[in-house]
């Protein structure tokens, strides 16, 4: 390797086996920032905010140029074929790492992603565990431990630290599942250097001591951890660590355990036993794409926000993969929330019912109040000292998600919603875009089999192009193809073009039906009329919609804007000076609405639509 830039631990630059790490503090910060964002343009204003905490001025921009020149001289021995540091006019600077050059962070992320699929079940793949061991060995300590960090690098450090600790945690847990406690104990020194707040690591270490029969050493570790935790927080360690300690002491009668801690091994049963809920659905296999959105959401969940607990809303069109995205993200960060993870699908339960389930999961045998607000108050009390992750799926504008926020600022809430209304309570909103054909092909190949895609590449590309950028539509078709192995991709494509819903594509129907349920009756009726009358494949003007619905222009615009808010229509770019916008209803959504219209009674049927629209016309 000609050039290595290492940020996981002390900053280190190794060029042709010679350490050439710069010593000037601001130069080190600039190099770290460019390395972490390698391949991307780092804007000049981002650099000046990191180095000086201010917006760029002419003088600061010239100083940045000087620093960049210094860095080019540092990196020059690697050669331009290996590494280049270029200026993008009026934007910023980009560090490109080519063959023979590597940032350890990129390698760590690659190893983590390679191992994820093999460590998700009860029996993790041994090759995946070996990959995780290689990832752990890359980590030389806390990220940029010898660099004075500004505000931008502090955010990066928090994100990368969660990845570093997460990789170590996954490795330890996988070793325990493979009954390799000694592999965990080999990492004891590394774990003991971690902050006492990383309780999931200490939990694995105590379980390894118990499995290896080294009870007294494990008891000493627990004593130290407990002492540090009490000094830092004034509270006992979390439930998972205490459970591991109980398992440790249950295997020995050594009198060396002090009487004060021995009481932890056999506490008096409380009126309502505290539990550690693990309610997350299983991780999504072969999750593809949306890497940038995952990174943004992960950073927001794990670094907190201005109004704790950290709350992230994931907004996307029906079928865009919001639920799968949130499940993948929640499983990725679950290790950071050792007091439990709660999950509720709000398409099937009310917030009050969800609260009752949460309370039963947290306090076995607890009395559940009847009043929803009393339940919310008790939930906040139960979680006041916890580090919990709450995942809420299928939230709508009619869902009061504020009732489901835990009471601890160290907790986090992740919301999947089809409309932007619940996002108003979130500190960070992540919008999921439609996927491109290349990404959808990857999804289809992962689910249906790569051999089929390689055998019929043109047909596979045409098939995913019929799915309007929606991964849910692709996964449904891939599942159908797996159930019918005697079908070719071309045969499935022909059936989709004839009548896709005759094949049983009910997942997409259910997703759109949930979005429709969140609309008002008038908006649902308006959508039915627009789909029935609108020309195929064309965008709609407000004036045309007003004529089609037989309502004033302002009411037609209100209906269209409500459809946009619920991601059932998209605004079409027009001249900003235009008096009104144009709107597009995706052809696949039009098909779904027509199908639902034809299937049975409900507010989408044309007769009911006409009746609903009369309420507007009489205004």
Domain boundaries, the chain: 3-104, 105-274, 291-431, 439-503, 519-617
**123 secondary structure, DSSP code:** S
Surface-to-core class of residue 550, CB atoms within 10 Å of its CB (0-12 exposed, 13-18 middle, 19+ buried): middle
Residues 503-532 as b/e (b if ≥16 CB within 10 A, e otherwise) read eebeebbebbbebbebbeebbbbbbbbbbe
Strand pairing class (389-395; 341-345): parallel
d(CA 599, CA 104): 55
Predicted TM-score (pTM) of this structure:
0.57
DSSP 74: H
Identical fold, 3-104 and 519-617: yes
Inter-residue contact 296 to 430 (CB < 8 Å) = yes
**Residue 5 gets which letter from DSSP?**
E
> What is the pLDDT, as a whole number, of residue 603?
43
Instruction: Show the low-confidence residues of the chain (pLDDT under 50).
Output: 119-123, 252-273, 602-609
* Per-residue model confidence (pLDDT) at position 265: 37
Buried b (16+ CB within 10 A) or exposed e, 563-572: bbbbbbbbee
- Per-residue pLDDT, 286: 66
List the alpha helices (DSSP H) in 268-335: 291-303, 322-333
CB-based contacts of 60: which residues, under 8 Å, 6+ apart? 48, 51, 52, 54
Neighbours of 613 (CB within 10 A): 20
pLDDT value, residue 421: 67
Sign of torsion, CA 291 296 302 303? positive
Distance of alpha carbon 235 from alpha carbon 225, whole angstroms: 12
- Residue among 147, 128, 126 at smallest CA distance from 13: 147
Closest CA to 37 of 145, 150, 153: 153
b/e burial code for range 345-366 (CB count within 10 A of at least 16 → b): ebbeeebbebbbbbbebbbeeb
Buried b (16+ CB within 10 A) or exposed e, 94-128: bbebeeebbbbbebbbebbeebbbbbbeeebbeeb
Cα distance between residue 423 and residue 426, in whole Å: 5
Q: Are 523 and 563 in contact (CB under 8 A)?
A: yes
Angle at 129 between CA 443 and CA 279, to 5 degrees: 65
* Class of CATH domain 3-104: mainly alpha
Instruction: Report residue 578: phi and psi, to 5°.
Output: -65, 150
CATH 1.25.40.10 fits 105-274, yes or no: yes
The CATH number of 291-431, from 2.40.180.10, 1.20.1070.10, 3.50.50.60, 3.40.50.300, is: 3.40.50.300
Note the pLDDT of residue 14.
92
| Domain over 519-617 is classified CATH 3.90.550.10 | no
Q: Pairing mode, if any, of strands 570-572 and 540-541?
A: unpaired
């Amino acid at each position: 390797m000609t050039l290595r830039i290492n940020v996981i631990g002390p900053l280190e630059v190794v060029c042709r086996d010679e350490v050439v790490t710069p010593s000037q503090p601001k130069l080190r910060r600039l190099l770290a920032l460019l390395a972490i964002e390698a391949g991307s343009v780092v804007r000049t204003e981002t650099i000046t905010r990191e180095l000086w905490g201010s917006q760029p001025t002419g003088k600061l921009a010239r100083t940045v140029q000087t620093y960049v020149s210094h860095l080019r001289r540092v990196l020059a021995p690697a050669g331009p074929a290996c590494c280049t540091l270029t200026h993008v006019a009026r934007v910023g600077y980009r560090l490109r790492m080519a063959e023979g050059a590597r940032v350890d962070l990129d390698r760590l992320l690659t190893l983590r992603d390679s191992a994820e699929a093999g460590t998700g079940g009860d029996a993790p793949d041994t090759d995946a565990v070996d990959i995780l061991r290689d990832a752990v060995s890359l980590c030389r300590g806390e990220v940029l431990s010898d660099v004075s960090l500004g505000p931008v690098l502090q955010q990066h450090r928090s994100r990368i630290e969660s990845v570093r600790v997460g990789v170590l945690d996954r490795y330890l847990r996988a070793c325990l599942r493979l009954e390799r406690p000694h592999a965990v104990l080999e990492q004891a020194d590394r774990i003991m250097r971690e902050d006492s707040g990383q309780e999931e690591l200490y939990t694995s270490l105590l379980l390894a001591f118990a499995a290896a029969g080294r009870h007294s050493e494990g008891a000493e570790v627990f004593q130290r951890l407990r002492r540090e935790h009490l000094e830092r927080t004034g509270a006992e360690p979390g439930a998972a660590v205490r459970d591991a300690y109980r398992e440790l002491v249950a295997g020995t009668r050594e009198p060396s355990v002090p009487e004060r801690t021995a009481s932890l091994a056999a506490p008096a049963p409380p009126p309502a036993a505290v539990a550690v809920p693990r309610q997350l659905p299983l991780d999504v296999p072969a999750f593809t794409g949306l890497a940038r959105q995952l990174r943004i959401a992960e950073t927001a969940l794990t670094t907190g926000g201005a109004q704790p607990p950290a709350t992230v809303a994931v907004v996307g069109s029906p079928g865009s993969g919001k639920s799968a995205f949130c499940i993948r993200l929640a499983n990725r960060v679950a290790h950071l929330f050792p007091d439990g993870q709660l999950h509720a699908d709000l398409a099937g339960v009310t917030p009050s019912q969800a609260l009752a389930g949460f309370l039963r999961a947290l306090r076995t045998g607890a009395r559940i109040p009847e009043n929803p607000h009393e339940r919310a108050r008790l939930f906040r009390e139960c979680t006041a000292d916890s580090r919990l992750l709450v995942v809420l799926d299928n939230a709508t504008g009619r869902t009061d998600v504020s009732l489901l926020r835990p009471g601890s600022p160290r907790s986090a809430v992740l919301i999947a919603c089809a409309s932007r209304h619940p996002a108003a309570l979130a500190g960070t909103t992540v919008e999921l875009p439609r996927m491109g054909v290349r990404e959808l092909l990857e999804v289809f190949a992962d689910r249906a089999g790569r051999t089929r895609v390689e055998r019929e590449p043109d047909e596979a590309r045409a098939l995913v192009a019929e799915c309007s950028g929606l991964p849910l539509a692709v996964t449904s078709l891939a599942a159908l193809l797996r159930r019918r192995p005697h079908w070719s991709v071309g045969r499935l494509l022909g059936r989709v073009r004839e009548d896709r819903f005759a094949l049983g594509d009910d997942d997409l129907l259910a997703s759109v039906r949930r979005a429709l349920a969140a609309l008002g009756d008038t908006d649902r009726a308006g959508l039915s009329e627009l789909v029935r009358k609108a020309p195929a494949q064309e965008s709609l003007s407000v004036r045309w919609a007003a004529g089609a619905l037989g309502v004033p222009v302002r009411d037609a615009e209100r209906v269209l804007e409500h459809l946009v808010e619920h991601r059932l229509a998209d605004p079409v770019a027009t001249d900003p000076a235009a008096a009104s916008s144009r709107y597009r209803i995706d052809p696949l959504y039009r098909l779904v609405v027509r199908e639902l219209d034809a299937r049975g009674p409900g507010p989408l049927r044309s007769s009911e639509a006409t009746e609903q629209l009369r309420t507007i016309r009489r205004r």
